[in-house]
């Protein structure tokens, strides 16, 4: 019997990475002046504008990770740019910020105009969906550094939020409702494990058909990360301070991301079965024998973003999100306890 696959078995050492980040946070604070707003476990950096104490600049940076490997295998490069914008913008909006502008960095061994034009077209489309300006970027040609036909990319988003309307999770209380907003698939996290399962363990290719998936495997894995900027803006415009917490469900899944935006003394109970889990996650779990807890710690499992509101406002918040084009519903609740997520089986 094949050994169950995990993120660590796929080559991702999250323990060492987290320890490095903890050390880095301490050293980073030595560069902070009075303008920096301390939000150590938030999704973005905050900087108070000199002369405008109520205005906070919000900054984020991220990449696409090994999802790029799928683009290389398929030769399809026009969606990873959307992912690049989404990864930073979705982090930026969880504090209530409005995206202002975006910058990109692309590095490659040799500039292939056709490939990079497609990737850049995706970045432009991502900025359109996010409602922010693409101000510019850097294209670095580094001969001998990348294999032929490959490249890497990083993005940088800047936004603005009124300090009085900053969402940091401190107002979350036991009894509040947890809403889940549907993802479009894997988004841009967990691809090292997904590739290990599909290509190494199962011996599939990007052209393979997998039971339950409507598209060839490569196209399924390239489904672009959903950008929630306009939906969250609509929610905040209608609900205001009734929105107590927002979490972007990226690496670490709900298990690690929701605790970043709830206060001490609160825990979150998530009820499995309250939302449809896309077939691609079932295929990964079955194909690699991936344990349930590992699935929820690596992948979004069909929930791209969570929102916490008072229970009495949950139905209204869901209606607003649906009117904005998202699929949303109540998937859990806040209870008393230590800051963690508990996964419950919904009977």
Q: What CATH number corresponds to the domain at position 86?
A: 3.30.1330.10
Residue 1 has a pLDDT of 58
Q: How confident is the model at residue 346 (pLDDT cuts 50, 70, 90)?
A: low
Query: Two tokens at 244?
Result: 């107590």
pTM, two decimal places:
0.94
> Is residue 10 predicted with pLDDT exceeding 80?
no
Instruction: Indicate the residue among 124, 140, 165 that finishes a domain.
Output: 165
Separation of CA 314 from chain center = 23
57 and 134 housed in the same domain: yes
- In this predicted structure, the answer to whether residue 228 has a pLDDT above a threshold of 90 is yes
- Shared domain for 159 and 212, answered yes or no, is no
Q: What is the pLDDT of residue 185?
A: 97
Instruction: Enumerate the β-bridge partners of residue 46.
Output: 37, 58
pLDDT-based confidence at 40, cuts 50/70/90? low
What is the domain count for the chain?
Answer: 2
- List Cα–Cα distances, 289 to 38, 201, 285, 292, 303, in angstroms: 41, 10, 5, 9, 21
Helical packing angle, 229-239 and 113-130, nearest 10° = 10
Q: Based on the domain organization, do 198 and 337 belong to the same domain?
A: yes
Residues 111 and 230 in one domain: no
Same domain, 116 and 182: no
For 316, list phi and psi in degrees, rounded to 5: -65, -45
Contact between residue 171 and residue 66 where contact means Cβ atoms under 8 Å apart: no
pLDDT on residue 8: 79
Q: What is the pLDDT of residues 141-162, one digit of tens each?
A: 999 999 999 999 999 999 999 9
User: What does the pLDDT average to over 28-42?
Assistant: 82
Average pLDDT value for residue range 55-74? 97
What CATH number does residue 185 fall under?
A: 3.90.650.10
Domain around 312: 177-345
| Average pLDDT value over all residues in the chain | 95
């Amino acid at each position: 019997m094949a050994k169950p696959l995990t993120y660590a078995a796929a080559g991702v050492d999250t323990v060492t990475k987290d320890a490095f980040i903890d050390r880095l946070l301490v050293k980073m604070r030595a560069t902070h002046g009075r303008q920096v707003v301390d939000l150590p476990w938030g999704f973005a950096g905050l900087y108070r504008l000199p002369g405008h104490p109520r205005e906070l600049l919000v900054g984020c940076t991220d990449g696409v990770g090994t999802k790029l490997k799928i683009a290389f295998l398929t030769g399809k490069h026009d969606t990873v740019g959307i992912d690049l914008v989404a990864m930073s913008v979705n982090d930026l909006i969880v504090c209530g910020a409005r995206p202002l502008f975006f910058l990109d960095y692309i590095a490659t061994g040799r500039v292939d105009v056709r490939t990079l034009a497609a990737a850049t077209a995706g970045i432009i489309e991502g900025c359109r969906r996010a409602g922010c300006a693409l101000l510019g970027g850097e294209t670095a040609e580094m001969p001998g550094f990348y294999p032929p036909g490959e490249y890497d990319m990083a993005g940088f988003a800047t936004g603005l939020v009124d300090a009085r309307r900053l969402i940091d999770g401190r107002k979350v209380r036991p009894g509040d409702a947890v809403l889940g907003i549907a993802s479009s698939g894997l988004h841009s996290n967990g691809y090292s494990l997904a590739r290990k399962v599909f290509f190494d363990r199962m011996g599939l290719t990007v052209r393979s058909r997998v039971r339950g998936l409507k598209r060839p495997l490569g196209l399924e894995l390239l489904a672009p990360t959903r950008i929630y900027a306009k939906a969250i803006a609509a929610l905040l415009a209608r609900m205001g301070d009734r929105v107590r917490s927002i979490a972007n469900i990226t690496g670490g899944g709900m298990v690690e991301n929701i605790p970043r935006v709830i206060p001490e003394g609160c825990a979150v109970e998530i009820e499995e079965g309250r939302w449809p889990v896309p077939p691609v996650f079932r295929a990964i779990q079955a194909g690699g024998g991936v344990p349930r807890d590992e699935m929820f710690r690596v992948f979004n499992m069909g929930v791209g973003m969570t929102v916490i509101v008072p229970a009495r406002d949950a139905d209204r918040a869901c209606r607003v999100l649906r009117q904005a084009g998202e699929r949303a519903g109540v998937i859990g609740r806040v209870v008393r306890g230590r800051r963690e997520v508990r996964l419950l089986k919904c009977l």
